[in-house]
Amino acid sequence: MYGEREIQEGHLITFPNPRVGRRYEVSISLPEFTCKCPFSGYPDFATLHLAYVPNQRVVELKSLKLYINSYRDRYISHEESINQILDDFVGACDPLEVKLVGDFNPRGNVHTCIEVQHQRSDSSSQ
């Protein structure tokens, strides 16, 4: 199936920031994140909230969607999934600032929210 193939091949694609020099924030909500618990194998569901200040590159949204969908069958903890997504995003876009929040649906009466951030040490564009 072409959808599964696109997800498997999914990687973050970027394009040049059309407004380099202007500081602005891009906010993206991804309400259908899923992964599998590495201990029980049960599915975990979350809404991801991504906010970043672009540097030289901006993420292409379809590639972000496919990249996020690639977690669907991964056995990965809440903490590791959100940290890995942030690391991959920073590697692809090199934003001035980025904040990622994973708001996981309650399971077993436990609600987990993971928040990670990254800021360039020089906070200036290259």
* Residues annotated within a binding site for substrate: 59-61, 78-79
93 is catalytic: no
Catalytic residue among 37, 73, 94, 103: 37
37 is catalytic: yes
What is the rounded radius of gyration, in angstroms, for the C-alpha atoms of the chain?
Answer: 15
- Vertex 117 angle, CA 83 and 100, to 5°: 65
Which residues sit in the known binding site?
Answer: 59-61, 78-79
* Rounded Cα gap, residues 78 and 104, in angstroms: 8
**Cα–chain-centroid distance for residue 57?**
15
Residues classed as catalytic: 37, 44
